[in-house]
Amino acid sequence: MNPSEGFADANHIRLHYLTWMPPSEGHVGFPPLVLLHANGFLARLWQPVAERLARRYHVFAYDIRGQGDSDKPDPADASNYHWQKLAGDLRAFLDVFALRRVPVAGHSSGGATAAYLAGTHREYFSKLFLIEPIIMPPQFAAVPGPRNQMAEDARRRRQVWPSADAMFEAYRNRPTFARWRPEVLRLYAEHGTFRREDGQVHLKCSGDAEARMFENSVSLNIWDVLPDIQCPALIIKGRHTDAFLGQIVEEVAAHIPGARHLTIEDAGHLVPMEQPERLSAVIEQFLAETP
Residue 18 lies in a domain: yes
CA distance 124 to 50: 20
- What's the rounded mean pLDDT across residues 206-212? 97
- Measured CA distances, 259 to 106, 112, 226, 280 (Å): 15, 15, 10, 19
Residue 181 lies in a domain: no
Beta strands 125-131 and 160-161: pairing type?
unpaired
Task: Look at residue 26 in the predicted model and tell me its pLDDT.
Answer: 54
**Containing domain of residue 82, as a range?**
4-146+217-289
Task: Classify 221 as helix, strand or coil.
Answer: coil
- Measured CA distances, 245 to 154, 241, 264, 290 (Å): 18, 7, 14, 26
Residue 109 lies in a domain: yes
Between 188 and 1, name the one with better pLDDT. 188
159: left (phi over 0), alpha (psi -120 to 50) or beta: alpha
Confidence band of 144 (pLDDT split at 50, 70, 90):
confident
Residue 212 lies in a domain: no
pLDDT one-digit tens code per residue, 243-282: 989 999 999 999 999 999 999 999 999 999 999 999 999 9
Residue 231 lies in a domain: yes
Task: Look at residue 140 in the predicted model and tell me its pLDDT.
Answer: 77
Residue 160 lies in a domain: no
Please report which helix (H) or strand (E) contains residue 190, including its range. Answer: helix 182-191
Q: For residue 63, which of 7, 128, 2, 121 has the smallest C-alpha distance?
A: 7
Q: Could you tell me the CATH number of the domain that includes residue 68?
A: 3.40.50.1820
C-beta atoms surrounding 105 within 10 Å: 30
Residue 140 lies in a domain: yes
Confidence band of 24 (pLDDT split at 50, 70, 90):
low
How many domains does the chain divide into?
Answer: 1
CA distance 140 to 244: 9
CA distance 76 to 228: 34
Residue 68 lies in a domain: yes
Task: Count how many Cα atoms sit within 13 Å of the Cα of residue 46 in the half-sphere of its side chain.
Answer: 28
CB 78 within 8 A of CB 187: no
Q: pTM for the whole thing?
A: 0.95
CA distance 25 to 78: 43
Q: Which residues pair with 6 in a beta bridge?
A: 17
Task: Look at residue 143 in the predicted model and tell me its pLDDT.
Answer: 74
